[in-house]
Amino acid sequence: MAGSALRRLMAEYKQLTLNPPEGIIAGPINEENFFEWEALITGPEGTCFEGGVFPAKLIFPPDYPLSPPKMQFTCEILCRWQSVYIYFTCSGDDPMGYESSAERWSPVQSVEKILLSVISMLAEPNDESGANVDAAKMWRESREEFNKIAEKIVRRTLGIPT
Amino acid sequence: MGDEGETPPGSISEDEPQVNQDELILAQQRQIEKEISESIPLVGDLEPISSLNNEYSTDPVYLDKVKDLSTKYQYVRRTRPDGNCFFRAFSYANIERLLEKKEEFSEFYKLAEDSKTALVELGFQQFTVEDFYDTYMEVLKRLRAIEDADEAKKELHTLFNTQGFSDYMVVYLRLLTSGQLQKDKDFYSCFIEGERTVSDFCHQEVEPMYKESDHIHIIAACAALCTGVKVIYMDRGTGKSCNEHDLPEGCTPTVHLLYRPGHYDILYP
């Protein structure tokens, strides 16, 4: 039912364009292919990611929304750290498979909800389930160092020399 | 062969990049799902109760129970064991029986027609519910347009074996069930273990596809469709007969389901 997936993706795109949530821009990279999107996520205010703009890519399966999309940050440096704040596991070449959280996915979730949950995870690093053990340890034991690195990440995403 | 330097197959030296266990498990799971989907239709044909014997030829406990079952039921219709079996079976069996009762079908149609508004009022986002609702209504419309009940049953069978339609029917019943749970959350919260709220439970256990159903799902689904169901439990418990429960308690059941640990099929008296 790729037709249903397309219909739904168009509805979501329309929704995101008409009522864009704060801090999120998302849409198909190319309107010829609605199954690959790019998203820009703004680092939440009052966190070490404030001011950063983080690009990510979303790939939708043909049976979307029965199955979830895969999401991956495309800014490389964040990928090395993201697993601390985002409980999507970080593994090898697929640093951020949203599929690892597939059990929370349901057909009434949406791109908007995924991106909002990413933002809230950036705001509230979840060190309990940090897949990146070193970074999780740094978050707990040496917050200053952690924040310095986060700041570098933010500057990189904006193209400012670090 | 005989090359001492060679690593025996299956062992992983520590220097090699680590094989991702999660990936392997997922791959195996997908393989199993593929095998099931290739060998078992979403909803099968009618089979005599005695066909259950084939599964238990050396199991006296089950054979006794199949015998007991055959005194009350004539046929069984199997559904694919994919975690959606209760919702698929219930939805199918309920619509199937309504095809012979035009008046009740009309009432059911009206109930279905109004259901989207109720879901949106409960907080579901319209654009996430719409496609499932439209498919649900399209199936009901197609069936309503067929005068002859037997022809309509054939169409129902075809639609429920067409993945796109069938899965969207399942999703919509999951959403109606979730809506029912959330509407009567004070009542249902007593049945949810742990710290979870009713809406957490719905997001984690009801709305996602392939999540298996428990008692609470069944009671809420019955309430959502205003239908009573009799569940016959067939397991390795003592006794020669199967236990049965009418849900909700005291109802006159119109849908009959056979439950074997982890799976539901449809029964026909």
In chain B, the residue whose alpha carbon lies closest to the alpha carbon of A4 is B131
Confidence tier at B253 by pLDDT (50, 70, 90): very high
Question: Is B197 domain-assigned?
Answer: yes
pLDDT for the residue B57: 80
pLDDT band at B54 (very low <50, low <70, confident <90, very high): confident
- Give pLDDT, residue B112: 95
Q: What dihedral do alpha carbons B171, A14, B139, B101 form, nearest 10°?
A: 80
Same domain, B157 and B192: yes
Q: Does A17 touch chain B (CB under 8 A)?
A: no
The count of domains in chain B is 2
pLDDT of residue A150: 77
Asked, for residue B221, whether it belongs to a domain, the answer is yes
- B222 and B248 in a single domain? The answer is no
B201 and B88 in a common domain: yes
The string of pLDDT tens digits covering residues B86-97 is 999 999 999 999
B101 lies in some domain: yes
One domain, residues B88 and B181: yes
Low-confidence ranges of chain A (pLDDT < 50): 77-103, 127, 129-131
| Residue B17 included in any domain | no
Provide mean pLDDT across the span B46-61.
Answer: 88
State which residues form the domain around B243. Answer: 46-77+228-269
Q: What is the pLDDT at residue B118? A: 94
Report the range of poorest mean pLDDT among B9-13, B150-154, B193-197, B248-252. Answer: B9-13
Same domain, B59 and B178: no
pLDDT (0 to 100) of residue B228: 95
Average pLDDT over residues B74-83: 94
Domain coordinates in residue numbering, chain A: 2-158
Residue B124 sits in a domain whose CATH number is 1.20.1300.20
State whether B252 and B121 are in the same domain: no
Domain with B71 in it: what CATH number?
A: 3.30.200.60
CATH of domain A2-158: 3.10.110.10
Q: Is A101 on the interface with B (CB under 8 A)?
A: no
Distances (CA, A) of B37 to B34, B43, B88, B262: 5, 11, 14, 17
Residue B26 inside a domain? The answer is no
Q: How far apart are the C-alpha atoms of A49 and A77, rounded to whole Å? A: 13
Residue B27, SS3? helix
Name the residue facing B208 among A99, A103, A110 (closest C-beta): A103
Contact A123, A112 (CB under 8 A): no
Contact yes or no for B164 and A4 at CB 8 A: yes
B50 with B135, same domain: the answer is no
Q: Is residue B40 part of a domain?
A: no
CA distances from B3 to A39, B7, B13, B16 (A): 52, 9, 16, 19
Say whether both B183 and B101 belong to one domain: yes
Query: Do B89 and B217 reside in the same domain of the chain?
Result: yes
Asked if B72 and B166 sit in the same domain, the reply is: no
* B27-36, B38-47, B249-258: segment of lowest average pLDDT: B27-36
Quote the tokens at residue B45: 């044909």
**Do the bridges between strand B263-268 and strand B229-233 make them parallel or antiparallel, or are there none, so unpaired?**
unpaired
pLDDT at A125: 58
pLDDT digits (tens, 9 = 90+) for B128-184: 999 999 999 999 999 999 999 999 999 999 999 999 999 999 999 999 999 999 999
User: Cβ of A66 and B132 within 8 Å?
Assistant: no
Is B240 within a domain? yes
- Beta-bridge partner residues of B248: none
Please state the rounded mean pLDDT for residues B12-33: 67
* Mean pLDDT, range B92-108, rounded to an integer: 94
H or E element in which residue B267 lies: strand B263-268
Residue B21 belongs to some domain of the structure: no
- CB contact under 8 Å between B171 and A91, yes or no, is no
Higher pLDDT residue, B203 or A126? B203
Which candidate from B26, B128, B175 shows the least CB-CB separation from A110? Answer: B128
